Amino acid sequence: MLVFAVAVVLFAYASVGLSMTGRIPAGIAGYGLAFAVLMLLAHLAIRWLAPWADPLMLPLAALLNGLGIVMIYRLQQSGRDGNAGRLISTMSTSTTLLQVVWSTVGVAAFIAVLALVREPRTLQRYTYTFGAVGLLLLAIPALLPASLSEVNGAKVWISIGGFSVQPGEFAKLALAVFFAGYLVAKRDVLSLAGRRVLGIDLPRARDLGPVLIAWVASLLILIFETDIGQSALFFGMFLVMLYIATQRTSWLLIGGALFLSGAFVASKLFAHVGERVTIWLHPFDPQNVYHSSYQLVQGLYGMGFGGVLGTGLGNGQPYWTPLVQSDFIITAFGEELGLTGLMAILLIYGLIVQRGLRAAVAVRDPFSKLLAGGLAFVLALQVFVIVGGVTQLIPLTGITTPFLSQGGSSLVASWMLIALLMRISDTARRPAPQPIQEEGMTQVVRAG
Amino acid sequence: MNHALRRISLVALLMFIVLLLGVNYVQAFEPSRLATQLGNGRTFSQQYQYQRGSIITADNQTMAESRPVKGIYKYQRFYPDPAVYAPVTGYDSLYSATGIERTEDKFLSGSDPQLTVHNLIDLVTGKPKKGATVQLTINSAAQSAAYDALKETGLPSGAVAIDPRTGAILALASYPSFNPNRYATFSSAQLKRIDNRYRSDPRQPLLNRAINQSFPPGSTFKVVTSSTAFSKPGGKYTPSTPVFAPTNLKLPGTSRQLINFDNLPCGNGRVPIDYAFTVSCNTAFGNLGMQLGDNAIRQQAEKFGMNDPNLKIPLQVSESRYPPIPGNDPALTAYSAIGQYNDQVTPLQEAMFSAAIANKGTLMTPYLVQKVTAPDLTSLVNASPTTLSQAVSPTVAGQMSQMMINVVAKDYGTAHASVTSLTHIPVAAKTGTAQNGANNTGLDDAVFTCFAPANNPQIAVGVIVKGGGLGADASAPIAVKILQAYLNAQAKQ
């Protein structure tokens, strides 16, 4: 499977070169070998550290990561070295190399997580540590001056000396661990039923505390970090984990209502939130089309231009869409690989999510169950928010597309997420330890 | 907890289904609507992502081609000999196109349904999509000669040459011309600037004078008047029929008198039609026109292709007009009969007069597109000549031919000196010097229509030079240069 994934990526890379310059790119041996070695290392690490882990996850993640690198290379080469297309000013000649380096860091983090977390339950011990770290990571960009934390209007970065990290990506993982640990401890209290209204068991009013805190926190992110996507991710993850822990549908309804009303009020109170809604509802309005909705509309044009079969890698015009290499990379895939390619990519995500949820179902320990469920769902939610955003299904919010988007933090965090899911699936699928065999015992007796 | 996890799985599945439906909607159902939305740069730049077909002359010279360039667009339109061919090719710009670039766009761009299969095969075999090649009937020698000769006059002018046997247009030139390469720019700001400059230029370089501007035909209209007379049933008029040709023709109902050129007398005042034609007596034809009547002349003019607003070659041709005369006023009919009332013709119409006579009275439909060839060399269009009308009977055509031969061959013919001093090719012609402006104070327009070789016609030419003066002096040499260039080129083959 992994060989197949690497082969697909190499083929895509060669295809980019062939359509852009008519030649197979010169770097194919180097890049290809580096990518293959990287994935081989990840594979060997699994054989060694988590031999029972789900065998499908690594090839799927590798395929996405590889396709992301290929697309970033293709976008970087647009208008460069005599290639057709317009230069994308937000990319430099080293963008692809940097992405490969980040992939290496990502795989290293993947191996490190597998090596350090031998047993998922050990994480439960550090529940509150992770909670504190997660909140801190989230809060840093909001507290830092804009010069150090704002990139393209989103205040979600720590950027020092040209090197920037999105701490929110890692906060997501830390908070997932925190939520899992916290909810396992409190699930009995939280699932106590209060009054019953319209056939739904409402929780007791005094137990609303945690959900309210999560809601307020997510709103604070929304307001201070100008990041609706992140806040939706955190709140969604929390709600779903709360639901899994308590099995109370009422939590989902209460939380959903809270989020929607919060978002609605925010859209009225804060211009940047309201603008997102306007763009979503009226993207083709002549007043918006060259300004606020330009990116969304160009992304849609790109996907429409690609149609069912796509233009082929290197033959489209994705350079019209601003920041196509990060938030809008999915539209570049839609344009060049067409509906067909985009559906394949969505199915890959779907498979990873399904495999993660399956691990959650299979694993016995409740903490691992919650963690796997939360992580798998947050991956699904992230894909939904960004792909739904660029396809005008929901208001557009700027979050990364896992594994595909240019950017190190998201890539490394995604690899760590996969590592955690694989660790849990390894735990779930590991055969129960063999009891010490009778034969051995008798041998001891005989010897004695 | 597994129960909740299964439900969450369903929610996740639902989310992916919604996304799949969403991308299906955008990419399978919406593309045609998205393509036409505001600010969609991809749609129009798409046409520069593959090679647009070339436009070539009948003798395989390139008039327009797409060349590979670096940048956002892969190909840029290039016109190797821009001013010469501009009235034919037109331009192809970011936002619009004119000329053949416009009328044959579906072939050149490869969007014609006939090309769909070829494109599909190319898609599968990985060959880049390419437009079809459009071959015109234009002869490069004739076209260059036409443009160079018009340019030499420095006056607004147009010239058209037709193969009278088929209607194939051999040359279609206009001066002043423009440079379509300027329109091939990818910068919309530059495009706007160029377009504004050309549009505000008082010399109107974008105007195609060969087919889109009409001028008074002057004495060349005597071809129509004579044809009307000879076509009268009963053979009342023949070239030898004597007609009344005074020095001054008193016109009924007005104090004005019709005079001959420079107030000259016409023979002894009563001359055969062919003599009046050869020396171009206004009074004789004014008088003849009044005898024939406005209706008969107009019907004959229409058989030569006038009063037809729908002629397309496939460029839209402006109507050459012979409007009804108010109240059948005989005085105005007399003016009309010598091409000096409201009659208006294009240079193409002038060529059509001669072409009909040269082709034994049968006027072939003029056309520009000879052949369209797909990138894989299969032929998509192959022109077959059609008849536009039977302008005159072969007998009348014979009589007209002889009279037009006399215009050049007889030493008293109006075109004798100017044509025979330039060529030994037997040419049949009619000159025209159209007065215009208020009270005829404007400079005369030089008009000329001819065909050659007179005994075996291969080319018919119409030339009009605005303000050129005498047709014989200003326009005849241009026509001779065109037909010489063409016949020489044909002889070399």
Calculate the alpha carbon distances from B141 to A106, A445, B61, B352 in Å: 69, 115, 10, 20
Q: Does A303 contact B27 at a Cβ distance shorter than 8 Å?
A: yes
- Distance, in Å, from the CA atom of A67 to the CA atom of A62, rounded to the nearest integer, reads 8
Structure tokens at A77: 């080469």
Q: Does A297 contact B43 at a Cβ distance shorter than 8 Å?
A: no
Task: Return the DSSP state at B62.
Answer: E
| Count of pairs with CB atoms under 8 A, one residue in A, one in B | 159
Residue B8 lies in a domain: no
ipTM of the complex: 0.89
Structure tokens at B248: 């001054």
Query: What size, in residues, is chain A?
Result: 448
Contacts 24+ apart (CB under 8 A), A27-31: A31/A69, A31/A73, A31/A100
Q: Is the Cα torsion angle A209, A215, A216, A221 positive or negative in sign?
A: positive
Structure tokens at A195: 């009054």
The partner residue sitting opposite A342, judged by closest CB among B4, B27, B39, is B27
For A11-27, how does the pLDDT look when each residue is reduced to its tens digit (9 = 90+)? Answer: 888 888 777 766 777 67
Q: In which residue are the tokens 């830390």 written?
A: A174
Q: Does A240 contact B30 at a Cβ distance shorter than 8 Å?
A: no
Provide, as residue numbers in chain A, all residues whose Cβ is less than 8 Å from the Cβ of B33.
304
Structure tokens at B432: 């025209």
- H helices within B410-470, ranges in order? 416-420
Amino acid code (one letter) for A442: T
At residue B130, φ and ψ (nearest 5 deg) are: -145, 145
Kind plus residue range of the DSSP H or E element containing A296: helix A294-306
How close is the nearest chain B Cα to the Cα of A379, in Å? 10
Per-residue tens of pLDDT for chain B, all 493 residues: 788 899 999 999 999 999 999 999 999 888 888 877 777 777 767 777 778 899 999 999 999 999 988 776 788 999 999 999 999 999 998 878 899 999 998 889 887 777 766 666 666 666 667 889 999 999 999 999 999 999 999 999 999 999 999 999 999 999 999 999 999 988 878 888 999 999 999 999 999 999 999 999 989 999 999 999 999 988 889 999 999 888 888 888 777 788 877 777 888 888 999 999 999 888 899 999 999 988 999 999 999 999 999 999 999 999 999 988 887 788 888 888 888 888 899 999 999 999 999 999 999 999 999 999 988 888 888 999 999 999 999 999 999 999 999 999 999 999 999 999 999 999 999 999 887 755 566 688 899 999 989 999 999 999 999 988 887 788 999 999 999 999 999 988 7
Q: Does B20 contact A343 at a Cβ distance shorter than 8 Å?
A: yes
- Name the active-site residue from B219, B231, B354, B475: B219
Structure tokens at B184: 């091939």
Residue B438 touches partner A, C-beta closer than 8 Å: no
Residue B10 touches partner A, C-beta closer than 8 Å: no
Residue B399 lies in a domain: yes
List all residues of chain A from 208 to 267 with a beta carbon under 8 Å from chain B: 240, 243-245, 247
Residue B469 lies in a domain: yes
CA angle B105/B320/B483 to nearest 5° reads 75
Count Cα atoms within 13 angstroms, Cβ side, for B355: 32
Q: Does A353 contact B16 at a Cβ distance shorter than 8 Å?
A: yes
Residue B177 lies in a domain: no
Strand partners, B445: B434
Q: Is the Cα torsion angle B462, B463, B466, B467 positive or negative in sign?
A: negative
What per-residue confidence (pLDDT) applies to A448?
A: 43
Give B235: exposed, middle or buried? Use CB within 10 Å, 0-12, 13-18, 19+.
Answer: exposed
Q: Does A334 contact B23 at a Cβ distance shorter than 8 Å?
A: yes
CB A9 within 8 A of CB A70: yes
Whole domain around residue B227: which residue ranges?
218-369+385-492
Question: Closest Cα partner for B79 from B68, B94, B90?
Answer: B90
Residue B19 touches partner A, C-beta closer than 8 Å: yes
Provide, as residue numbers in chain B, all residues whose Cβ is less than 8 Å from the Cβ of A350.
12-13, 16
For A202-225, how does the pLDDT look when each residue is reduced to its tens digit (9 = 90+)? Answer: 666 666 676 677 777 766 776 676
Q: Does A354 contact B38 at a Cβ distance shorter than 8 Å?
A: no
Count Cα atoms within 13 angstroms, Cβ side, for A400: 25
Residue B208 lies in a domain: no
CB B8 within 8 A of CB A335: no
pTM flag (> 0.90): no
Taking each helix axis as running N to C, give the angle between helix A228-246 and helix A249-269, from 0 to 180 degrees, rounded to the nearest 10: 160
Strand partners, B465: B157, B446
Residues 6+ apart with CB under 8 A from B57: B63, B135, B136, B138, B139, B140, B143
How close is the nearest chain B Cα to the Cα of A82, in Å? 6
Provide, as residue numbers in chain A, all residues whose Cβ is less than 8 Å from the Cβ of B11.
240, 377
Residue B418 lies in a domain: yes
- Distance, in Å, from the CA atom of B214 to the CA atom of B319, rounded to the nearest integer, reads 8
Structure tokens at B5: 């996890």
Residue A301 touches partner B, C-beta closer than 8 Å: yes
What per-residue confidence (pLDDT) applies to A309?
A: 85
Is B219 one of the annotated active-site residues of the chain? yes
Give the number of domains in chain B: 1
The partner residue sitting opposite B5, judged by closest CB among A289, A317, A360, is A360
CATH number for position B283? 3.40.710.10
What per-residue confidence (pLDDT) applies to B119?
A: 65
Per DSSP, which regions of B69-194 are E strands? 75-78, 133-136, 157-162, 169-175
Give A128: exposed, middle or buried? Use CB within 10 Å, 0-12, 13-18, 19+.
Answer: exposed
Q: In chain B, what are the helix, strand and coil shares in percent, each to the nearest 5?
A: 45, 20, 40
In terms of DSSP bridges, do strands B428-434 and B75-78 run parallel, antiparallel, or are they unpaired? unpaired
CB B459 within 8 A of CB B491: no
The partner residue sitting opposite B8, judged by closest CB among A82, A244, A302, is A244
Provide, as residue numbers in chain B, all residues whose Cβ is less than 8 Å from the Cβ of A338.
27
Residue B353 lies in a domain: yes
Question: Closest Cα partner for A357 from A327, A380, A334?
Answer: A380
- Distance, in Å, from the CA atom of A27 to the CA atom of A53, rounded to the nearest integer, reads 33
CB B476 within 8 A of CB B429: yes
- Distance, in Å, from the CA atom of B126 to the CA atom of B119, rounded to the nearest integer, reads 10
Q: Does A317 contact B72 at a Cβ distance shorter than 8 Å?
A: yes
Residue B28 touches partner A, C-beta closer than 8 Å: yes
